[in-house]
Amino acid sequence: MSDSTVNIDAIISPALTRCAVAGSSKKRVLEYVAHLVADHFSFLDENALFNNLICRERLGSTGIGQGIAIPHCRLENCDRVIGALITLEEKVPFDSIDNQPVDLLFVLIVPQEATSEHLELLSQLAQKFNNQAYCDSLRRCQSDSELYEAAMKPPAS
């Protein structure tokens, strides 16, 4: 990894970490995410963000299995890598590879031109969320701050 590579821990913030979000469908969850991120980064267009996330889902679900999804997209006018971590109150169908509904999401938004960085972060995320103990610790959280703290802890091996 080069010095210019962004680490996952550096791209999430308490403001974009939400615990027990109500979401009745994949579309509603992605609308919530677009609103949350655009509300925090006012230079981003909420509709463009939502449309890019939906377009990416149409290429193939970002549900990686075991109740986890990593929705992601590249976005014009985005000048930084943005991550949002969300747990859902109830699992929602996400067309995941294992057909299991999702309750744990890490959303990744990267600048339009950040191709290699995007792929590196997706790889890091998949690795991190492949750790069952780490995912279980996130799912046990009862508040946004507790979720953020749990996310910052390195996964147990």
Positions annotated as catalytic residues are 72
**Quick one: how far is CA 153 from the chain centroid?**
17
SS3 19: strand
Q: How far is CA 46 from CA 38, 83, 94, 100, 149, in A?
A: 5, 15, 21, 28, 27
